[in-house]
A and B are shown apart, each in its own frame.
Chain A
């Protein structure tokens, strides 16, 4: 295969779909399960066509019972499978919260390292699709707070394709967050590992280089930050955008290297700022970069309210204006 043909233009959704397909081809122990994932191909069509090609034993439709689904995946993982669970919408994960926090996260430690739990829980998350509460939430911090879980968030089609495969290969359980409002965005994806080695799963990426302020983002707000950087550049401000990619563990080296260079940091996520990922980032950055900081670390995020009805989404979601306001505030110190 030539290098030319190994590059495809994919949506983020298709990147996930092809990544799942590749993982299933590579390892017969990979199984998918969830509500409407088989015949229908998932409500977001991430698993489309996979049951047809891999059969009902590997793409398993489930009744509507999130706690039972995750528990079943634990059992499968303990018997050598690599289950990938789809939670249909972010806000539907809570019935499974007990299984995830009390079983998934703890079995390795509880068994003194004898048991491993190679499973992935996929969570379409965030707002911006005109939905309502339960369908637009950003609950990643609950899980990042839980020791024993790895938590990652993808932001573009190439990461979608590679990170889902890396997550499936992980011997630890991975919470895999997918920005549903970016599902249909396209980009070129290098599908050949030999042509371009993908970044390791838990490494952050400097998506845009800059010198004045570092924007720390993940998932859906990476694009928001890239747009903000573009707008700021027109005003002569140079913003660096770091896509965290991994929320637990955090790639502190990449983060602090950037902030030490710029001296300023703004965190951006859809989840409420109160006790969100930005709070941890601010604490770590001020500790590690204290002598380099020109301004306090600022946080941009959702308000501390239940996700609002869709008429309010634009006011709720951190957009360009709020990011640029924070940048100006940081630069004003």
Chain B
């Protein structure tokens, strides 16, 4: 059954947790906006896909996770990495292709992984991630750790066989697995309103015997609540859930995308729907946090991202000898 999560309670969110959530979203936004600017200078190699606009999804889900838990990500993975605690400076260096990066400059934007943080990896293959979490969730179940695994994937990946196989497996084995379909409206240039045969991706949940939920992806509290329910159920042995998060990405499919396929829906989203603006309006209205609190976080994050760029630019490149390493454990 598909249900729309409409309840907007903040129960369980202390001022500290609210600050943490805001800091996480602000970090992602600052990181992505800065990359958008820096990519235009030509100094960043490879392809870069930005997560700006989608921060409430990664944050709303990952604020429930701890070191037992794992996530699998997508080509648009910076937000998931940050939300799962991957070091921001290491990520920036990685995207610059530097030896000091999270993957020593050998992964780049699309392949950041940090197993120490339970981050299984961004993924250049659409639909590559969902099957992986069946494995980590099965391991958690067998070992009884109480851990859950989350696969973030896009509307494009929701049409890949790998994603559908993974959802079926997760249900068959009653795994502590959460499938988060991030529907930003377009798989590259292809509109999800056309490419997804059901009205909503969440409708597919019933076909795999799991609950399906639709949430407003611009609303941190909505995502947080829906994810909280699903994750608590999974930890308690209640099996998988499909959560469809709907929003708009603020930038093109990749940096450099002309975006001829969509009208300018971004300006309105930024103005009226933006997750950071809404979060700020809400917590200052209720008095849970002050504007000064939030401004201080903005300043702190601005500084962090600035330092990460300066350090990434100054960091050494990998050497030619590094080209041939890390293919096998032993040669």
Contacts and interface: CB of A to CB of B under 8 A. Distances in A.
Given A132-B47, A305-B324, 18 more contacts: A36-B188, A63-B159, A63-B187, A63-B195, A63-B196, A64-B159, A65-B159, A65-B160, A68-B161, A134-B110, A134-B125, A135-B47, A135-B124, A309-B105, A311-B45, A311-B97, A311-B105, A311-B317
B213 interface: no
Given A36-B188, A40-B260, A95-B160, A315 B45 contact: no
A309 B324 contact: no
Contacts of A306: 327
A61 interface: yes
B327 A63 contact: no
B318 interface: yes
9 contacts: A43-B188, A63-B156, A65-B160, A68-B161, A130-B45, A131-B46, A303-B323, A305-B324, A315-B323
A308 interface: yes
Nearest to A305: B327
Nearest to B101: A309
Nearest to A303: B324
Given A35-B188, A303-B323, A132 B124 contact: yes
Contacts of A29: none
B188 to A, nearest CB: 5
A60 to B, nearest CB: 12
Contacts of A39: 189, 261
| Most chain B CB within a 10 A radius of its CB, from A65, A67, A130, A133 | A65
Interface of A: 35-36, 39-40, 43, 61, 63-65, 67-68, 91-92, 94-95, 130-135, 303-306, 308-312, 315-316
Interface of B: 45-47, 97, 105-108, 110-111, 124-127, 156-157, 159-162, 187-190, 195-196, 260-261, 317-318, 320, 322-324, 327
Contacts of A308: 106, 323
A43 B327 CA distance: 31
Contacts of B318: 311-312
Contacts of A65: 159-161
B220 to A, nearest CB: 28
B232 to A, nearest CB: 32
Nearest to A92: B125
B190 A61 contact: yes
Contacts of A312: 318, 320, 322-323
A186 to B, nearest CB: 22
A315 B320 contact: yes
B102 to A, nearest CB: 13
Nearest to B327: A305
A310 B324 contact: no
A75 B47 CA distance: 35
Contacts of B327: 304-306
| Most chain B CB within a 10 A radius of its CB, from A39, A63, A306 | A63
Contacts of B97: 309-311
A91 B189 contact: no
Contacts of A132: 46-47, 108, 110-111, 124
Nearest to A40: B189
B115 to A, nearest CB: 18
A316 B260 CA distance: 35
Contacts of B317: 311
B108 A309 contact: yes
Contacts of A309: 45-46, 97, 105-108
A97 to B, nearest CB: 12
B320 A133 contact: no
Contacts of A68: 161
Given A63-B195, A130-B45, A315-B320, A95 B159 contact: no
A308 B318 CA distance: 12
Given A310-B45, A311-B105, A311-B318, A95 B190 contact: no
Contact of A310 (B108, B111, B156, B189): B108
B190 A36 contact: yes
Given A39-B261, A65-B159, A95-B161, A131 B188 contact: no
A149 B108 CA distance: 35
Contacts of B162: 95
Given A36-B189, A132-B47, A311-B97, A64 B156 contact: yes
A134 B107 CA distance: 12
Contacts of B105: 309, 311
A302 to B, nearest CB: 11
Contact of A35 (B111, B190, B196, B322): B190
A133 B159 contact: no
B88 to A, nearest CB: 20
Contacts of A131: 46-47
Contacts of A304: 327
A303 B322 CA distance: 12
Contacts of B159: 63-65
Contacts of B47: 131-132, 135
A91 B124 contact: yes
A25 to B, nearest CB: 26
A311 B107 CA distance: 11
Contacts of B156: 63-64
Contacts of B188: 35-36, 40, 43, 64
A117 to B, nearest CB: 21
A312 to B, nearest CB: 5
A272 to B, nearest CB: 11
A135 B160 CA distance: 18
A118 B257 CA distance: 34
Contact of A305 (B126, B187, B260, B323): B323
B324 A134 contact: no
A43 to B, nearest CB: 7
